[in-house]
Amino acid sequence: MPTTPTAPADAAPTPVDLRAVIFDVDGTLADTELNGHLPAFNQAFAEAGLGWHWSAPEYLRLLAIAGGKERMIHYARTQHPDVAARADFAEFITHLHQEKTRHYAARAAAGATPLRPGIRRLLDEIADAGLTAAIATTTTLANVHALLRAQLGAGGEKRFAVIGAGDSVARKKPAPDIYQWVLAELGLSSEACLAIEDSAIGVAAARAAGLPVVVTAHAGSIGEDFSGARTVLDGLGDPAPSEGARALAGTPPADHAVTLADLRRWHAESVR
Ligand code: XBP
Ligand code: MG
């Protein structure tokens, strides 16, 4: 019986071999929204004497708007037009966001936003296999640095070959800009990469950039429209302590927790 020829181990990667995994940050690398961003927003609002306070359900609704500045502008315009009418509104929001970012970074540095199960292990598997890890996020670059330093140590950022964040592009998710920026920096085609996302607007951005996408949903995003994703999981899972990864749509991982082999398989299924 003819056997399928397997490429010798040192064979050059083919155009569709998986070369890089591009991670979203908020909700994917770590549960940062309710543990980090929301309390930071509310602290900045209180210090500014605004009388604004976002509850968790309200904040989860506001996440449909990508970007902290954009979210506050939307909230002011729809809920507090008197504030939106201020002559210095743009500077006011910029300053409020800088204060919010300072509070977020302090919370991240204090360990309030741990990595989701399986992230550390998967980063090791990606590095051991000689593949590349990168980041494509809407959040501010300073927040990414604070999170990675707190959770991965001083050289944490170096685990990612490219970090695309916040205002490095004109349009935020669901526009594809941040993913296109990261692909250009990596010098790779979308077919050679796989994105990992947690939200509908994140999946839309990655798909618009032509990327195959795997979703790791969480309590705040389960039920969103993940059309176009290869598979939707409730997390990556970890062998120890035993935390399985359940498929909510699409194909499950081969075993208990998601491995690089699973990512390669979902990528291959997406690009063939
Ligand atoms: C999610 C976002 C971010 C954060 C707030 O980013 O929409 O705006 O909620 O961060 P991701 P900033 O793409 O990683 O899911 O206040 O820094 O914008
Ligand atoms: Mg996200």
pLDDT at residue 4 is higher than 50? no
pLDDT at residue 92 is higher than 90? yes
| pLDDT score recorded for residue 11 | 58
Tokens of 27: 């909700």
**pTM for this model (two decimals):** 0.94
Strand order in the sheet with 231-233: 162-164, 132-136, 20-23, 193-197, 213-216, 231-233, 247-249
Closest atom, ligand 1, to C-alpha of 67: 8
Mind telling me the catalytic residues? 24, 26
The pLDDT tens digits for 220-270 are 999 999 999 999 999 999 876 666 788 889 999 998 899 999 999 999 999
Residue of 34, 35, 37 with the most ligand 1 atoms within 8 Å of its CB, for mutation: 37
Give 133's strand partners. 21
Torsion region of 237: left, alpha or beta (phi above 0 gives left; psi -120 to 50 gives alpha): left
For ligand 1, atom 3, the nearest C-alpha belongs to 139
Ligand nearest to the CA of 25: 1
The pLDDT tens digits for 50-84 are 999 999 999 999 999 999 999 999 999 999 999 99
Ligand nearest to the CA of 205: 1
Question: pLDDT averaged over the chain?
Answer: 93
C-alpha of residue 11 to centroid of ligand 1, in Å: 39
Nearest to 136 by CA among 73, 207, 232: 207
What residues line ligand 1, using a CB cutoff of 6 Å?
24-27, 33, 37, 66-68, 137-140, 143, 166, 173, 199, 202
| pLDDT score recorded for residue 246 | 87
| pLDDT score recorded for residue 252 | 92
| pLDDT score recorded for residue 125 | 98
C-alpha of residue 85 to centroid of ligand 2, in Å: 31
Q: How confident is the model at residue 5 (pLDDT cuts 50, 70, 90)?
A: very low
The pLDDT tens digits for 93-130 are 999 999 999 999 999 999 999 999 999 999 999 999 99
Tokens of 89: 């509104």
Q: Strand 193-197 and strand 231-233: pairing? A: unpaired
C-alpha of residue 103 to centroid of ligand 2, in Å: 19
Cβ-Cβ contacts under 8 Å for 134 (sequence gap 6 or more):
20, 21, 22, 23, 160, 161, 162, 163, 164, 182, 185, 186, 193
The pLDDT tens digits for 184-224 are 999 999 999 999 999 999 999 999 999 999 999 999 999 99
Give 243's strand partners. 238
The pLDDT tens digits for 19-28 are 999 999 999 9
Ligand nearest to the CA of 221: 2
Cα separation, 249 vs 236, in Å, equals: 14
Nearest to 33 by CA among 98, 136, 104: 104
C-alpha of residue 209 to centroid of ligand 1, in Å: 19
| pLDDT score recorded for residue 63 | 96
The pLDDT tens digits for 131-148 are 999 999 999 999 999 999
